[in-house]
Structure 1
Amino acid sequence: MTLDAGRLAILDINNRSDILPEYKLSMDVWDTEYKTWVTTKSFFDAVTTGPIKIATFGPLTSICAKPVASIAKYWNLITIASGVSSAALINRATYPHFFTTETTDITLNQIRVALLKRYNWTRVATIHYIEETDETSAKNFIADAIAQNITLVTSEAFVTDPVAQVKSIKEKGARIILLFASTENSIRVICQAYHQGLYGPHYIWFITYGHNTDWWKSNLGQGNVNCSIAEIEQVLTNYFTFNNIKLGLNPNTISGMNSSQYMEHYYSYVQRPPSLYKYFQINGYDAMWALALALNKTENILKESGSTLSDFHYKNSFIRSILFNEMSNTNFIGISGPVRFTDGARITDVGIYQCQIKNNQSKIVQVGTHFGLTEKMNIKEDEIYWISGGVPADQVKTEDSIIGISRATFLAMTVLAVLAIICASIFLVINITHRKLRHIKMSSPTINNLFLFGCIICYIAAITFGIDSNSAGGVFPPAICAVIRDYQLIIMVIFLVIFDVIYLTIWELIDPLTSKLRFLRTEAAKLRVKAANVTNGSFARRYSKNESVEKSFKRSNIDVNDGFVDQLISLIKNDVDAQAIITKIRQRRNNAPMIFKS
């Protein structure tokens, strides 16, 4: 296709009397077989055999163009290609004399970023095939996107079946996905996207080589995937892609033909039916015209210094420098649109296309245009097809909203809390003022006071936690309400920490349960000894001689002269052995009454 377009361009150029009138262009052809080593060998065969070449046309692909563009400089040859879109070759340090009429990633990345920002898509994911061209395209996009404050959720790369890579994109929640791969490798990613559910109204795909209608049908078998056409089309329902603007009817082209006239001219020349990849051959036609126009201007400049293009040889850098400058200054309207170069990359108007599949019918629709010179973008919003009827978000969005308490509920709970505070305060006053009463003293009044104080604080918190813009908006200004809400949690945490410190400190100092338990165990042991003496008939004598036991009873607030047995029962009522002792003491009570009386 491109080769035929180049030959047709040479034929048309040679028929023009105003372009290189003293020369006839010709082209020697070598088959690169789309292999780099074959391409390199073909180049050396070309420069070592006559006649002397003045430029190289092609190769078509980026992979094969790299070796030619990198070594052609040593023979002072200009390289112009028509199908190379990789930004890797737009590097004047490595490929100083390279030009391409295909839209490169440098231009496409500007459009991708502009489209993402237009719809506020700031979180994206990329997936690319591990091959130098696709990998370079992905890396260049990532660099441009990050520079524009677009977040890269993940960047995945694959060689065979991209199961893990697509799963990673799904797990990380990416909804805007950019795919850098050939059509054959793209179909494998799309199939996995179907199996893992990355399709529907919430997902948007950007596909590099998706500008031909029904391209997936011809690549389904090559991708070796387990998906039907209908399943693939569910993922491809509304993806975006980019390409040169579709041919118009502008008659002011350098060749004098509009698009329809050119297509008739081309197909009558090649004697073949139309191809889906007509854009490649159109770029080839314009690439040959760009070279011819630059050669024509170079010839005119050389004539002023008494030289011609015929003086060129592989060591003549002077003629090459003039030709390079004229190529860099190229500016004309070709069949594929405006042809201009910046550092070898074509600056042209690019169409923004969307695949739209409705009712099992697919079509590629131009929904916008990016103008190369002004770098402005025009989008036809009414032409874009959104599955859900609106622009999808790039992530699940969460919105925080304050759900206030109704004023009636707040007032009711406040009244109950105030009543509870009053009630707890009364109990606290009674507990403090009557703390020496026997019943209050035996109920651990200090702990009770702490509990009551804590209850009062909780009831106050119930009131303060209910204060918001709904319940207190008419009482406090919004700013004050906001401060109360902001500091409630902090104040509560500080209070709880202080309360815990005080409580633990008091508990360690008093420790009433441990001390009381130790005392009861000591007294129970002594009583067992006394009970044993009673059973031997010497209870009265031994008791009267042992003043230490009587002192122990006094320390326990036990009156040894009145109701001794009853008080003793209440002291050790939980001790099983003590109960047996008490039974024996009661059996001998009538025989020794003087012990319990004054």
Structure 2
Amino acid sequence: EKTQLYIGGIFPMTGGGWSGGQACLPAALMALQDVNYREDILPGYHLNMIHNDSECNPGIGTNVMYRLIYHPPPKLMLLTGCSSVSTHIAEAAYMWNLMVLAYGSSSPALSDRKRFRTFFRTHPSAVLHNQARIRMFQYYQWSKISIIQETQEVFTSTIEDLEKRAKEANITIATRQSFLSDPTNAVRSLKRQDARIIVGVFYEDMALKVFCQVYKEKMYGNRHVWFIIGWYPDNWYQKVEENDVNCTVDQMREALQGHFTTEMTMRSLDDTPSFSGLNVSQFDEELLIKLNNSDPNDTPGYPEAPLAYDAVWALALALNQTITRLTEKGVNVGLDKFTYDNSTIFREFYRAMDSTSFQGVSGPVQFLSTGDRLTLTQIEQMWDGRYYKIGYYDNKNNNWTLNHSIVRWNGPHPPYDRTLVVEDLRLVSMELYVGMCSSALVAMLAAFGCLVFNVLNRNVRYITMSQPGLNNIAVLGCITCLSCIFLFGLDNSSLSEDQFTAICQARTWVLVVGFTLAVGSMFSKIWRVHRLTTRAREEDKVQFSDVVEAWKLYALLGLFLAVDVIIMTVWQLTNPMTRYALQITCHSQSSISMLGVAAVPNVTYCGSKCIAAGQYLFLYTCHGSGLLRTVARAWHWKANPYPAPSACTYLYTWVLCLITAPVTILISSQQDATFAFTSLAILFCTVITLGLIFIPKVQ
């Protein structure tokens, strides 16, 4: 007759959290049967388990622990599941020289050896999820993520580890939301924060509520990627009615389309026989018989069942090694003599457990110094309501394999981790540019015709008296100004920085020189007539040639050009003009495309590194004062008997055109309006000027 040994089992069979005991308890009982069947394991002993339901509730679980401890016989070890329960039990168990072995507890907090001195687990720590997640973030170049979690210690410690690893990987945590029982506000907050890459950690019942709200907030599709826990049953999203979730199965499937899950491999990847003699396929067949051939997806804890099976084998092998250790040390005490104050058996049992290593149905079983177990992380993606394995992450060797042909996206490419702001360079519309350039070309041809007319008829007395040379210069100035229209509306999207800078400087020079030639020539003529009228008051007869020689008129025009050249040269040398971009408006949610791209309208313009207010002011002062003085002279002619030359009306036109410059600054953000206004101003001034000068001469 064999000596009876006892262990305690705390299984979450019911409750609102994880009720994985429904599959894990049959797996553990199956392992007990296999252990007791083996003559080479615990010879002379029969291993039994007294178990009860914790409902995945820390208070109830702790109560179960006390009943197991204080009701004989003594228990050599406690098996636990559900992190919240394991946390309370493992923290207190060492006071009774008890070890705790968890088959379903992933909380990273349980890795703290100072706090949980006698804790081991066959279920890997949830931090292994984070290593795989970080690797995926880096692979797809996501540097900004968001987090939503249920307020449980297992999830809080998991997220704290994720935040630490994300910081080391230069990944920003945009927002972290938590909830206790209702995720509505947390999901809405994620939406307000424009969360795109989202990690969610919560129990199965809360996952249903979260993704129902995700569906309502439209936080899925080609702009979002969700990462959640992978230890839910494959059909977990279909349990909407029994969990009182206000969404249909189809709506849940739509919201979950394309999401990723990470989970530790809980079954060996091949059919290599385990130490018990069973391979994975044989284990699953026997477990289904224990479960009365029910659908594994309808049985909570089915994915973790191999971990419970291997947990029993791990403690059995450790107890078997403890017998050997006690014998080698000459301690003639059987395992059945264990009591809660017997530190001799406990110490050897702990060392044996710490060194346990074997091949289980869940893969290689070996414990680290923290009591954790390393294993592969399995990555899956849901598509059309079905999970597909897309890769594995080797936590031990820090490498991974990913089947890219299986990974699918709701859009043409992986979503961006934030709103991608793309500059939309606004150019002058081609229709407007062609129209204005055509008008300018016609005006230039007309100006050239006027020039030819003036040259051919230069000996005609009426034309000779109006200074044809200055008229020719005025025509050239108009042609020069008209040529600026071609430069103002030029497509600069394909121009380099140097090319654009050259055009900026060229059009400024051309416009200033053209303006000076046109206005300066007319100023010279009016100044000459002004001198004539002034002399005529003093003398009865005066000849034009006696008042102002012709070379003085050209010298005055040259002076104007010299002043412009000096100003422009100093400007170009000290504060050269170059390309600058003006962002017209900030993007809004309505302007963001379905792929998460916001086009921000930009307008390029010529500007200086420093504000060129001084240059502008000086330039406008020179030209403006000259115009005003000339206009004053022309206005003065109304009181004289001499007929006012057409240059007077011409100058009024150029004064009107000069004041259009400040207007273009005010509308600089509207490229079409700016170009049209500038072009029309130049066309108006030049065409009216040519008409006023030459139409009377033609007549």
> Common fold, TM-score beyond 0.5?
yes
Count matched residues: 482
- 2:200 alignment partner, SS class: strand
Matched, 1:36 2:58: yes
In the alignment, the residues of structure 1 paired with residue 503 and residue 47 of structure 2 have an alpha-carbon distance, to the nearest angstrom, of 96
Distance 1:405 1:269 in 2: 75
Query: Which one of 68, 71, 74 corresponds to residue 52 of structure 1?
Result: 74
CA distance in 2 between counterparts of 1:408 and 1:279 reads 65
How far did residue 332 of structure 1 move? 1.6
Counterpart CA distance in 1 for 2:169 and 2:119 is 28
Instruction: Report the CA distance shift for 1:79/1:201 in structure 2 as closer, same or farther (over 3 A).
Output: same
Name the Cα RMSD after superposition.
Answer: 4.3
Give the Cα separation in 2 of the matches to 1:364 and 1:374. Answer: 26
- The answer as to 2:255 corresponding to 1:235 is yes
Residues 179 and 208, structure 1, Cα contact 8 Å, conserved in 2 = yes
1:8 aligns with 2:14: no
CA separation of 1:211/1:318 partners in 2, compared to 1, >3 Å: closer, same or farther? same
The answer to whether the 8 A contact 1:89-1:95 is kept is yes
CA contact (8 A) 1:184 1:222 kept: no
1:432 Cα deviation from its structure 2 partner: 9.9
2: CA distance between counterparts of 1:148 and 1:328? Answer: 32
Equivalent residue number for residue 577 of structure 1? none
Q: Describe the shift of the 1:421–1:174 C-alpha distance in structure 2 as closer, same or farther (beyond 3 A).
A: same
- Cross-structure match for 1:73: 94
Moved more, 98-107 or 382-391: 382-391
- For 1:408 and 1:293, the matched residues in 2 are separated by 79
User: What pairs up with 1:243-262 in 2 under 5 angstroms?
Assistant: 243-245=263-265, 246=267, 248-262=269-283
The aligned residue for residue 341 of structure 1 is 367
Name the residue aligned to 2:417: 394
AA matched with 1:313: T
What is the aligned counterpart of 2:153 among 124, 127, 132? 132
2:513 alignment counterpart: 421
Residue 118 of structure 1 is matched in structure 2 by 139
Q: How far, CA to CA, are the matches of 1:29 and 1:84 in structure 2? A: 17
Distance in 2 separating the partners of 1:124 and 1:497: 48
Letter in 1 for 2:513: I
Distance 1:412 1:379 in 2: 52
2:183 aligned residue (139, 162, 178): 162
CA contact (8 A) 1:417 1:460 kept: no
Whichever residue aligns with residue 239 of structure 1, its letter is: H
Given candidates 268, 271, 279, the residue that maps to 2:303 is: 279
Give TM-score scaled by structure 2 length: 0.61
The answer to whether the 8 Å contact 2:231/2:263 transfers is no
Counterparts in 2 of 1:98 and 1:435: CA distance versus 1, 3 Å? farther
Question: Is the counterpart of residue 264 in structure 1 residue 354 in structure 2?
Answer: no
- Map 1:497-516 → 2, pairs under 5 A: 497=614
Report how far residue 416 of structure 1 moved. Answer: 8.9
Counterpart contact for 2:129–2:262, Cα < 8 Å: yes
User: Taking structure 1 as reference, are residues 180 and 296 closer, same or farther at Cα in structure 2, changes over 3 Å only?
Assistant: same
Residue in 2 that maps onto 1:381: 404
1:278-297 equivalences under 5 Å are: 278-297=302-321
Seen in structure 2, the aligned counterparts of structure 1 residues 239 and 490 have a Cα distance that, compared at 3 Å, is same
| SS of equivalent to 1:153 | strand
Match of 1:327 among 345, 348, 353: 353
CA distance in 1, matches of 2:219, 2:228: 14
Structure 1 SS opposite 2:367: strand
Q: Distance in 2 between matches of 1:322 and 1:329?
A: 11
- What residue number does 1:22 align with? 44
TM-score, normalization by structure 1? 0.70
Structure-1 separation of matches of 2:171 and 2:306:
35
Going from structure 1 to structure 2, the CA distance change for 1:113 and 1:318 (only over 3 Å counts) comes to: farther
Question: Would the aligned equivalents of 2:78 and 2:99 in 1 still touch at CA under 8 Å?
Answer: yes
Percent identity at matched positions? Answer: 27
What are the residue-to-residue correspondences of 1:85-484 with 2, within 5 Å? 85-209=106-230, 211-218=232-239, 220-245=240-265, 246=267, 248-271=269-292, 273-276=294-297, 277-307=301-331, 308=333, 309-342=335-368, 343-357=370-384, 362-398=385-421, 403-404=493-494, 414=506, 417-418=509-510, 420-424=512-516, 427=519
**Equivalent AA in structure 2 for residue 323 of structure 1:** F
| Deviation of 1:267 (Å) | 3.3
Checking the alignment, whether the CA contact within 8 Å between 1:127 and 1:180 is kept in structure 2 is yes
Structure 2 CA distance for partners of 1:226 and 1:279, relative to 1, 3 Å = closer
- Separation in 2, partners of 1:142, 1:179: 13
How many angstroms apart in 2 are the aligned matches of 1:263 and 1:79?
Answer: 26
Secondary structure (helix, strand or coil) at the match of 1:230 reads helix
C-alpha distance in 2 between matches for 1:76 and 1:384 = 49
Correspondence for 1:496 among 613, 624, 631? 613
1:419-452 Cα deviation digits (max 9, x unpaired): 6415416856996999899699x9xx9xxx99x9
Q: CA deviation at 1:128?
A: 0.9
Cα-to-partner distance string for 1:179-202 (whole Å, 9 max, x where unaligned) = 111121112221222222211122
Checking the alignment, whether the CA contact within 8 Å between 1:211 and 1:243 is kept in structure 2 is no
CA distance in structure 2 between the partners assigned to 1:6 and 1:173 by the alignment: 46
User: Does the 8 Å contact 2:577/2:607 carry over to 1?
Assistant: no
After superposition, give the CA deviation of every residue in 1:309-351 in whole Å (9 maximum; x if it has no partner): 3443222334323322322222222111121222122211222
Q: Amino acid of the residue matched to residue 63 of structure 1?
A: S
Once residues 385 and 115 of structure 1 are traced to their aligned partners in structure 2, the CA distance between those partners, rounded to angstroms, is 14
Conservation of the 8 A alpha-carbon contact between 2:144 and 2:174: yes
**Superimposed CA distance per residue, residues 142-166 of structure 1 (whole angstroms, 9 cap, x where no aligned partner):** 2222222111111111234433322
Q: Does the residue aligned with 1:352 lie in a helix, a strand or coil?
A: strand
Question: Residues 364, 420 of structure 1: CA spacing in aligned structure 2 closer, same or farther, 3 A cutoff?
Answer: same
The alpha carbon displacement at 1:206 in A equals: 0.7
CA distance in 1, matches of 2:233, 2:570: 72
**How far apart in 1 are the matches of 2:503 and 2:164?**
58
Once the two structures are superposed, what CA deviation does each residue of 1:567-586 show, in whole Å capped at 9, x if it has no partner? xxxxxxxxxxxxxxxxxxxx
Amino acid at match of 2:396: L
SS in 1 for 2:46: coil
Q: Is the 1:418–1:459 Cα contact (8 Å) retained in structure 2?
A: no
Q: Compare 79-88 and 313-322 and name the one that shifted more.
A: 313-322
CA deviations 1:104-142 (Å, max 9, x no partner) are 212111111112112212111110112332233222222
Q: Unaligned stretches of 5+ in structure 1?
A: 469-485, 514-598
Question: 1:281 is aligned with what amino acid?
Answer: A
Contact conserved, 2:376 with 2:394, CA < 8 A, in 1? yes
User: 2:531 and 2:160 mapped to 1: Cα distance?
Assistant: 83
Pairwise CA distance, 1:205: 0.8
Alpha-carbon distance between aligned partners in 2 of 1:172 and 1:439, rounded to the nearest angstrom:
75
Paired AA for residue 321 in structure 1: R
| CA displacement, residues 385-416 of structure 1 (integer Å, 9 cap, x when unaligned) | 22334333323334568724598998799479
Q: Is the 8 A contact 2:579 2:605 kept in 1?
A: no
Decide whether aligned partners of structure 1 residues 411 and 459 sit closer, same or farther in structure 2, where only a CA change above 3 A counts: farther
Residue 62 (str. 1) matches residue 83 (str. 2): yes
Distance 2:152 2:507 in 1: 74
SS at match of 1:28: strand
- Letter of the 1:394 partner, please give it: D
